[in-house]
């Protein structure tokens, strides 16, 4: 089943609000075997809406519209739908009773505009909206489903989950679909694609691969479409098993896991602890770690040591080391990791020092130069990276890379 999402509202087109509805609907539909063919945004304009409906009907099996069902004069969706489906508005008593009940509980009088929300196109199936006052509207025309829902996100979500998806599941049009995302770190997208070329070319015809790069990771999303979800799951899992043999060191997790969650799970299972010393990342690594629920079980604490005096007085970095090699150096990174491990009495420690930018670089140490060190009881290593000239990206990439190096060290030590 192919679907198009149509969002209605000038506020989207002028950038006043962000269209989060389409992203949510697309995700839910994909999980239910419905392919999103197109997302369209239109003005609160009669002709524009009619044109979008006509074009969508020619291409897809399902059209879902959000917005324009409110009680004010600028909400023209219902009247436009009446024209498109050659019908008229009629009063829907169950909807009006629902509106009166909601308003009575809020101690609000029902006025004419509220009553008008109970007017619905005569030819539609009314979808009860427990979360609000404007009902959803369901039409069928030329083997295409048309659904109109309010633009208020929590009302839209209720109608999709409780009314629309259940109807689509029994329609017989939606295929089974299985998604799984493999999370990789430490290899650029282009190099990863080269390394996976042969594996990618041998994927079954019904399995699609998508590369989803970000400063934090390159995600590999595998999607299989067919008639039996169990078979699709087996297909995808078999391909992931092959993938793990090709890039075992780069894969750190699956789906929505974060690197910090993966590391936290490893540490908790083995009763180990972690401390962090940050200079160029400014506390961002600590933020990632403390975003994990239950992190107090493995995370002892951190020092954000931007100043050399903090490096020396709190972490115990030798002033001569800074003088001889500079604050951004292998030697200082190692001493920071060793020092913070000692301060917090932790099993593992992580340290970063670098030049995030946009200023401060030299010919020898350009902006984006970062040293990352990890330490355990009997081992300390440091690696150098040059990430680029974008400050925010440098901070996020440094943080994620640091966690990946830590993960590899933990794996060797546990």
Tell me what pLDDT residue 33 has.
Answer: 83
pLDDT of residue 214: 86
CA distance 351 to 410: 15
125: phi then psi, degrees, rounded to nearest 5: -95, 125
Question: Can you tell me the mean pLDDT for 116-122?
Answer: 93
pLDDT at 12: 92
Q: What span, in angstroms and rounded, lies between the C-alpha atoms of 92 and 119? A: 6
Q: Are 345 and 397 in contact (CB under 8 A)?
A: no
Classify residue 202 by burial, with Cβ atoms within 10 Å: 0-12, 13-18, 19+: exposed
β-strands 207-213, 218-226 pairing: antiparallel
388's tokens = 């680029």
Q: What is the mean pLDDT of the chain?
A: 94
List, in order, residues 6 or more apart from 360 with CB less than 8 Å away: 367
296 class by beta-carbon count within 10 Å (0-12 exposed, 13-18 middle, 19+ buried): exposed
Question: How high is the pLDDT of residue 180?
Answer: 94
> What distance in Å separates the CA atoms of residue 394 and residue 218, rounded to the nearest whole number?
16
Q: Are 8 and 49 in contact (CB under 8 A)?
A: yes
Percent of the chain whose predicted confidence (pLDDT) is above 70? 99
Residue range 389-412: average pLDDT? 93
Q: Delineate the domains of the chain, giving CATH numbers in brackets.
A: 2-169 (3.40.980.10), 177-254 (3.30.70.2860), 259-413 (3.90.950.20)
Q: What is the SS3 assignment for the chain?
A: CEEEEEEECHHHHCCCCCCHHHHHHHHHHHHCCCEEEEEEEECCCHHHHHHHHHHHHCCCCEEEEECCCCCCCCCCHHHHHHHHCCCCEEECHHHHHHHHHHHHHCCCCCCHHHHHCCEEECCCEEECCCCCCCCEEEEEECCEEEEEECCCHHHHHHHHHHHHHHHHHCCCCCCEEEEEEEEECCCCHHHHHHHCHHHHHCCCCCEEEEEEECCCCEEEEEEEEECCHHHHHHHHHHHHHHHHHHCCCCEEEECCCCHHHHHHHHHHHCCCCEEEEECCCCCHHHHHHHCCCCHHHCEEEEEECCCHHHHHHCCCCCHHHHHHHCCCCHHHHHHHHHHHHHHHCCCEEEEEEECCCCCCCCCCCCCCEEEEEEECCCCEEEEEEECCCCHHHHHHHHHHHHHHHHHHHHHHHC
Does the structure show a pLDDT above 90 at 169? no
Closest CA to 129 of 118, 140, 139: 118
Confidence band of 79 (pLDDT split at 50, 70, 90)? very high
Contacts 24+ apart (CB under 8 A), 324-327: 326/365, 327/279, 327/353
pLDDT at 315 over 90: yes
Q: Is the pLDDT of residue 251 over 80?
A: yes
CB 48 within 8 A of CB 56: no
Out of 51-65, 99-113, 132-146, 396-410, least confident range: 99-113
Q: pLDDT over 90 for what percent of the chain?
A: 83
Strands 251-254 and 2-8 come out as: unpaired
pLDDT for 96 equals 95
**What is the per-residue pLDDT for 289?**
98
- Per-residue confidence at 414, pLDDT binned at 50, 70, 90? low
Strands 274-278 and 207-213: unpaired
Taking the C-alpha atoms of 162, 168, 169 and 174 in order, what is their torsion angle to the nearest 10 degrees?
-140
| Mean pLDDT along residues 89-99 | 95
């Amino acid at each position: 089943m192919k679907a198009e999402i149509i969002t209605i509202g000038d506020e989207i087109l002028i950038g006043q609000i962000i269209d989060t509805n389409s992203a949510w609907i697309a995700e839910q539909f994909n999980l239910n075997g419905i392919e999103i063919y197109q997302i369209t945004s239109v003005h609160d304009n009669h002709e524009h809406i009619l044109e979008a409906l006509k074009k969508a009907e020619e291409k897809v099996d399902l059209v879902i519209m959000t917005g324009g069902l409110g009680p004010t004069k600028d909400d023209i969706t219902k009247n436009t739908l009446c024209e498109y489906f050659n019908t008229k508005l009629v009063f829907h008593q169950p909807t009006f009773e629902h509106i009166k009940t909601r308003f009575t509980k809020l101690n609000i009088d029902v006025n004419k505009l509220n009553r008008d929300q109970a007017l619905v196109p005569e030819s539609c199936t009314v979808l009860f909206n427990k979360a609000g006052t404007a009902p959803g509207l369901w039409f069928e025309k030329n083997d295409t489903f048309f659904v109109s829902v309010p633009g208020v996100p929590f009302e839209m979500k209720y109608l999709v989950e409780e009314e629309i998806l259940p109807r689509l599941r029994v329609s017989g049009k939606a295929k089974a679909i299985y998604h799984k995302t493999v999370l990789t770190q430490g290899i650029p997208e282009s190099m990863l694609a080269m390394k996976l070329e042969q594996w990618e070319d041998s994927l079954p015809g019904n399995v699609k691969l998508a590369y989803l790069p970000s400063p934090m990771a390159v995600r590999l999303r595998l999607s299989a479409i067919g008639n039996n979800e169990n078979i699709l799951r087996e297909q995808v899992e078999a391909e992931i098993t092959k993938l793990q043999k090709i890039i075992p060191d780069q894969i750190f997790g699956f789906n929505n896991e974060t690197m910090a969650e993966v590391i936290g799970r490893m540490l908790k299972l083995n009763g180990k602890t972690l401390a962090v010393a940050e200079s160029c990342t400014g506390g961002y690594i600590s933020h990632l770690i403390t975003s994990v629920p239950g992190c107090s079980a493995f995370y002892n604490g951190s020092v954000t040591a931007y100043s050399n005096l903090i490096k020396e007085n709190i972490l115990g970095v030798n002033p001569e080391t800074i003088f001889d090699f500079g604050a951004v150096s292998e030697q200082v990174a190692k001493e920071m990791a060793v020092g913070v491990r000692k301060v917090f009495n932790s099993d593992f420690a992580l340290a970063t020092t670098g030049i995030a930018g946009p200023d401060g670089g030299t010919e020898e140490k350009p902006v984006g130069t970062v040293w990352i060190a990890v330490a355990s009881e009997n081992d300390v290593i440091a690696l150098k990276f040059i990430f680029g000239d974008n400050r925010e990206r440098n901070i996020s990439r440094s943080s994620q890379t640091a966690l990946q190096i830590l993960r590899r060290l933990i794996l060797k030590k546990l």
